[in-house]
Structure 1
Amino acid sequence: MSLLTCDARGVYVISVTPFTDQGEIDWDSLDRVVDFYFDKGADGLTILGMMGEAPKLTQAESRAVAERVIKRAGGKPVVVGVSAPGLAAIGELGKAVMDMGAAGCMVTTPGSLKTDPQIHGYFGQVSRTLGDGVPIVLQDFPLATGVQISDEVLGRIIDDIPQVVMLKHEDWPGLAKISKLRRAEAEGRRRISILCGNGGVFLPEEMARGADGAMTGFGFPEMLADVVRLAGDGDMDRAQDIFDAYLPLVRYEQQPGAGLAVRKYVLAKRGAIGSAALRAPGAGLTPEAIAEVERLLARQEKRLKELN
């Protein structure tokens, strides 16, 4: 498997981790959902992220999931989330998954970082912990971490830490950050790949600002692939039309604490996983929520037929 580079483009779907109704990892569904993502147009996968319920897995389970997915991907790139409160855990999991054939490691900022020097210094420590040559995806997700990475600090990280080859852009509002990065590159700064998260809710605008694609999840990953492809071809009107057809469900998935349950419900309904179960603590959808999702799905199908 090739390593992630600063030129990476396309859609790297954030994979769910399937569980049985009893809370055990559903290995058959894990194989099936990997195949599903690639069949629907994913260029790569990202596993053990926040929406993959990584904090609910043991270290041994995380390694086993990574090994299974990397093998199932058959040489297609797999990025592994290795974020942890301490550098020792990051190093242990990161080195293990790179030996398995991962394309790179995704790391976000712990909430304890409060100052610009701390943020800059942290990613230097991460790069040394993972070792030379390990590509790093910097996940900039202040809505979850509470850590704001300024444009200036991000620029210094890019300048000083060549192992950071990709930004997982999840700042909100953050469109201006993409524009500033691309302008800096036009003026001579090293280029990095920018893939965007937040459930894809701003994907057309992010692509127009210069993003290279998406690194997020959704119950219909083919929408992410279509929008990224169309935007890359310059057909922004068609990309927007396709996006708008799915937007009500994208919006519904954005509910804090409920979005993953919605995503898993849709994936189970589509046959990608065997159960919509979340590992405890975590609850499924109420009957009222299921009725709302079903209504959105029916309207989405109708609109897609109208768009042909």
Structure 2
Amino acid sequence: MTFEKISETSKGVYIIAATPFTDDGELDLASTDTLTDFYLEKGVTGFTILGMMGEAPKLTEAETLSVMDRFLRRVDGRVPVVVGVSHASNRHVDRLSKTAMDQGAAGVMVAPVTNLKTDEQVYNYYAGVAKLLGPGVPICLQDFPQVTGVHMSVSVINRLIDEFPQIVMFKHEDFPGMRKLSELRAQGEAAGRRRISVLVGNGGLFLPQEMLRGADGAMTGFAYPEMLVQVCALFDQGRAEEAEDLYNIYLPLLRHEFQYGLGLALRKETLKRRGAIRSSYVRRPGPVLDGTDLAELGRLIQRLESALRERGSAVAA
């Protein structure tokens, strides 16, 4: 069976999938299945698994392979799946990438290692990875300096795009970074450069503005993925005002989920309440919600559901 690969024309919503655990911190593969079904039912264009918000750094190598296999088997080629392969060791990146592609992944996402300080160092790192993986493995560059501490300039991104055709996607997550997105698009157009897919993260907090600046969609894990799907579709249809009106209904909850240090616990608790996973456990070290946090989240969900009813939208579990 031939599976679709990511390309320069990829667009829509590639959901950053959570990694479900049991209440005692073990992998919950049954919940991986229900979570996969939940995302597909909400209309996502694709998946990104084993990302930072998928708690990939907290998994053993055996667990990493188990999670990847379970997601890929459950999706079964219905939509593309990007696998996060970021690691301090290029040997690990190479081995996991090849295993992922052999099992039907659509491409891999690579964040820079944390000790890169100059454009030349960033270029050399990604050039080395691209050459190691070869032209048959589509690559998504992940730009997330808030976590990696590595700042990727527009000039080095463009250099990589020019020299490595397998770099087909860019996950834009710099903060603040909207000017960077505009510069990337403007410089590419002015130079007649190959246009690659740009999907945005940061919890979707700036999604409307980023779509207007040239993004092709979102790669984030907000617990109401149907909103992301609908907003991106409306922008694609040229209905920007309708898209932003819909987005604004969800904004209080989306902003709340975006809290650094606490957001993943809030996201998993919301997914649990929506029936997608059985436990909201975040593997340690990680945040734990207290009673006030839980009540606060519940109130925001109730207000969202009320606003959707007033608008006439269906309120889904």
TM range (shorter): over 0.9
Structural RMSD (CA): 1.0
Secondary structure at the residue paired with 1:124?
helix
Q: Deviations over 1:211-254 (max 9, x none)?
A: 11000001100011011011111111111111111111111111
Partner residue in 2 for 1:299 = 303
Maintained 8 Å contact 1:242/1:304: no
Per the alignment, residue 19 of structure 1 pairs with 21
Aligned-partner residue type, residue 34 of structure 1: T
Provide the rounded CA distance (Å) in 1 between the counterparts of 2:171 and 2:219: 7
- Runs of 4 or more off by more than 6 Å in structure 1? none
Q: Distance in 2 between matches of 1:44 and 1:266?
A: 21
**Matching residue of 1:192:** 196
Q: Map 1:40-119; keep pairs closer than 5 Å.
A: 40-75=42-77, 76-119=79-122
What CA distance in whole angstroms lies between the structure 2 residues aligned with 1:178 and 1:283? 31
Quote how far apart the aligned CAs of 1:186 are. 2.4
**Paired letter, 2:171:** K
1:38: which partner in 2?
40
1:101-138 alpha-carbon deviations (Å, 9 max, x no partner): 10000000111001110001111111122222100000
Counterpart for residue 206 of structure 1 = 210
CA distance in 2, matches of 1:230, 1:130: 36
TM-score (norm. length: structure 2): 0.95
In the alignment, the residues of structure 1 paired with residue 163 and residue 62 of structure 2 have an alpha-carbon distance, to the nearest angstrom, of 33
* Matched AA of 1:120: Y
SS of the residue 1:32 aligns to: helix
Taking the aligned partners of 1:196 and 1:232, their CA distance within structure 2 comes to 15
The amino acid that maps onto 1:20 is T
1:262 aligned to 2:266? yes
Task: Give the whole-Å Cα distance in 1 for the aligned partners of 2:300 and 2:4.
Answer: 39
Aligned residue number for residue 281 of structure 1? 285
1:179 correspondence with 2:182? yes
Matched, 1:166 2:169: yes
Per the TM alignment, residue 283 of structure 1 is displaced from its structure 2 partner at its CA by 3.3
Aligned 8 A contact 2:223 2:270 in 1: yes
Q: Is the 8 A contact 1:45 1:78 kept in 2?
A: yes
C-alpha distance in 1 between matches for 2:218 and 2:258: 16
Q: Percent identical across equivalent pairs? A: 53
Task: State the 1:67 CA deviation.
Answer: 1.2
Question: Structure 1, unaligned stretches of length 5 or more?
Answer: none
Given that 2:49 and 2:82 are in contact with CA atoms closer than 8 Å, whether structure 1 keeps it comes out as yes
Give the alignment of 1:105-254 within 5 angstroms: 105-187=108-190, 188-254=192-258
Aligned length: 308
Tell me the amino acid that sits aligned with residue 220 of structure 2.
T
TM-score calculated relative to the size of structure 1? 0.98
